[in-house]
Amino acid sequence: MRTIRVIIVDDEPIARDILKVYAAKLPQLELAGTCKNAVETIELLKSETADLLLLDINMPGMSGMELIKQLKNPPLIILTTAYSQYAVESYELNAVDYLLKPFSFTRFEKAVAKAAELLERKKEDDTIFVKCDGKLVKIALNELELIEAVKDYVKLWAGDKSLMVLSTMKNMEEQLSGYPQIVRVHKSYMLNVQHVRQLSGNTIHTASHVVPIGNTYKEMVTEVFNKYRLI
C-alpha cells in the first residue's frame, strides 16, 4: 500500500482535530503537518513533501483557492468547506474532491480513495523516453537511479538497464525539471533521492553506486535531502 503524505490546512482548531482523527484511521495516510493558514502552508511545503492537501477554502488572509493558484507544483487537493458555492471553481482547479462540512468519515475515506487512485495512475505515467542506439527507450522515473556524464553522452542506470544516451547533463536537467526527486549533485552526476541509501561525508551511496557531492551543489543537496528526510 502506497503511503500518502498529507498536510491539513484549516484555520479552525476543531476542524483540524477532526481531520487528524479521520486521517489516523487510514493506515495509508502519513501526516506531514498541520497549518492554520495559507502562509504557514507555503512555508511548510519548502521543507516537507506532500502528496495531498486537505484544504479549507475560507481562511483569513489568503483563501484556499488563492493558495492553490500560488503553488507552482501543488500536491493533490481535497477541499473542505462549509459553503457549497465553490464547487464549480474547485473542479476548474482540478481538486480531487469537495467535502462539504460537516462530512462523515465514510465520505472522507471515499475522497482519499480517489486521491490514492490518481496518485497510482500518476506514478505509472511518470516516464521519460531517451534515444539509445537509434531507438526510443521508455524509462520509469521511479526506477531511474543515476545519471552520469560520459564525454558527449550521459549514462543512465534504471532498474536492470544501463543506457548510453547522446545528450548533455544540461539537457537532462531540463527534461527532468518537473521531477524534484531527480537532483544534480555534481557536475557529472544526477540521482534519484529515492534510491539514496547512505550519506558519508561528501559522498552519496545509492544501491549500486558511490557518488561525490560537488562543492557548488552542497547547499542545494542539503536542502533537498532535508525535504525528503534523508538527513
Please give the share of the chain, as a percent, with pLDDT higher than 90: 63
Second CATH level (architecture) for the domain 127-227: Beta Barrel (2.40)
Domain boundaries, the chain: 4-124, 127-227
Q: What is the pLDDT of residues 56-111, one digit of tens each?
A: 999 999 999 999 988 877 899 999 999 888 777 777 778 999 999 999 999 999 99
Residue 14 has pLDDT above 90, yes or no: yes
**pLDDT, average across residues 186-211:** 91
pLDDT of residue 91: 73
pLDDT of residue 231: 54
- Which numeric CATH code is attached to 4-124? 3.40.50.2300
Question: Quick check: 185 and 214 in contact, CB under 8 A?
Answer: yes
Q: What is the pLDDT of residues 131-183, one digit of tens each?
A: 898 889 999 888 999 999 999 999 999 988 899 999 999 999 988 887 888 99
Run of H or E including 139: strand 135-140
pLDDT of residue 230: 62
Residue 124 has pLDDT above 70, yes or no: no
Which of the 8 DSSP states describes residue 214? Answer: P
195: left (phi over 0), alpha (psi -120 to 50) or beta: alpha
Q: What is the C-alpha to C-alpha distance for residues 50 and 32, in angstroms, rounded to an integer?
A: 7
127-227 has the same fold as 4-124: no
pTM above 0.85, yes or no: no
Cell triple for 57: 477554502
Return the half-sphere exposure (C-beta side, CA atoms, 13 A cut-off) of residue 170: 1
Distance, C-alpha 64 to centroid of its chain = 19
- pLDDT-derived band at 1 (thresholds 50, 70, 90) equals low
Q: What is the C-alpha to C-alpha distance for residues 95 and 119, in angstroms, rounded to an integer?
A: 13
| Partners of residue 127 on adjacent β-strands | 140
Helix (H, G, I), strand (E, B) or coil at 187: coil
